[in-house]
Amino acid sequence: MVLLAHLLALGLYGLATALALAPYAGLRPPPRGLTLAVPLVGIVCHVVGVAQLTLIGVAPALSMLALFLMLLQVVSERVFRAGAVGVFTGPLATGLVSLAVLIGLAPGAAAAGRSAWSVLHITVSILGLAMLALAFIAAALYLLQFRELKAKRFGQVFRLFPPLERLDRLNHVALMIAFPTVTLGVLLGYGVRYAGGVPVDAAQVVWGTLTWMVLGWAVSVRVVRHWAGRRAAFASIAGFAAVLLVYLALKLAEPGTQRFL
């Protein structure tokens, strides 16, 4: 059932990706209802699959990250009319689910070594990470559109990407929500470790704290120093890259798919 739900979600995410990319291949943009409905049905299938997973190891984390990314894609499209976000989130989520399926997803008892607080910590932390990824995507879209507008190139990016200000606002909102989310995730992590007595590796502490600090910096430059536009976009991209690179470095230091870190 877990695998079937994931495979269904994978197929629908693949289709959602194809719909998002279709206008860039010169095809007529699909109806908006379809670009919302296909990922939504995929999300429903995915939730069914994720609900039966034990949140231990890399595969469930990747699966959950993909789920949140698709959820954020739908919200971005619905609230910000930023369908171009799907150009990034679609392939990313499809790749992450594929990777999770390849690594191996197995159902397990919900309580197998994990308390409800621990599950909440993991869920909230991954949601925060997905929000950070969304801020990165909005920033990347901003820079691409900025470059096209400055260079007076009126191609597909100009026509299909949202306006600069909307992308800047999406980046801002994503960071503003990501920061308290990651803060809560980190606090829950400390709670699970010190109050719950669950052993937590130093790598997890380092990475969690670094993510929180990077987000704090990205938020502070926006709020305190009033960065916006291109400079804020670069800050988001640098922050996300730092979080990703440190994760990869820590993972290389202790390889394996049994543990997230």
Helices and strands (H, E) in the chain, number of each type: 9, 0
Three-state secondary-structure class, residue 24: helix
Site for other proteins, residues 96 to 125, rule: CB under 8 A? none
79 sits near other proteins (criterion: CB under 8 A): no
Q: Choose, by CB under 8 A, the member of 166, 218, 233, 261 that binds other proteins.
A: 166
165 sits near other proteins (criterion: CB under 8 A): yes
Angle 74-105-103 from CA coordinates, rounded to 5°: 95
Q: Alpha-carbon distance 86 to 256, whole Å?
A: 30
At 156, list the tokens: 């597909």
145 sits near other proteins (criterion: CB under 8 A): yes
229 sits near other proteins (criterion: CB under 8 A): yes
| Least Å from the CB of residue 92 to other proteins | 25
| Least Å from the CB of residue 146 to other proteins | 9
CB nearer to other proteins: give 84 or 130. Answer: 84
228 sits near other proteins (criterion: CB under 8 A): yes
Q: Choose, by CB under 8 A, the member of 154, 209, 241, 249 that binds other proteins.
A: 154
The residue among 19, 49, 52 whose CA lies nearest residue 37 is: 19
Question: What pairs with residue 107 in β-bridges?
Answer: 53
The residue among 229, 238, 221 whose CA lies nearest residue 168 is: 229
The residue among 16, 144, 174 whose CA lies nearest residue 83 is: 16
| Least Å from the CB of residue 29 to other proteins | 8
Q: Which stretch binds other proteins (CB under 8 A): 49-57, 158-166, 179-187, 201-209?
A: 158-166
Q: Alpha-carbon distance 39 to 29, whole Å?
A: 16
158 sits near other proteins (criterion: CB under 8 A): yes
Three-state secondary-structure class, residue 197: coil
Question: What pairs with residue 53 in β-bridges?
Answer: 107
Q: Which stretch binds other proteins (CB under 8 A): 100-108, 143-151, 194-202, 240-248?
A: 143-151
Site for other proteins, residues 2 to 31, rule: CB under 8 A? 28
Task: Please answer whether residues 164 and 217 qualify as being in contact, where contact means their C-beta atoms are separated by less than 8 angstroms.
Answer: no
Q: Alpha-carbon distance 146 to 155, whole Å?
A: 13
164 sits near other proteins (criterion: CB under 8 A): yes
Binding flags for other proteins, 169-188, as an x/- string (CB under 8 A): x-------------------
Q: Which residues bind other proteins (CB under 8 A)?
A: 28, 145, 149-150, 152, 154, 158-159, 161, 163-166, 169, 226-231
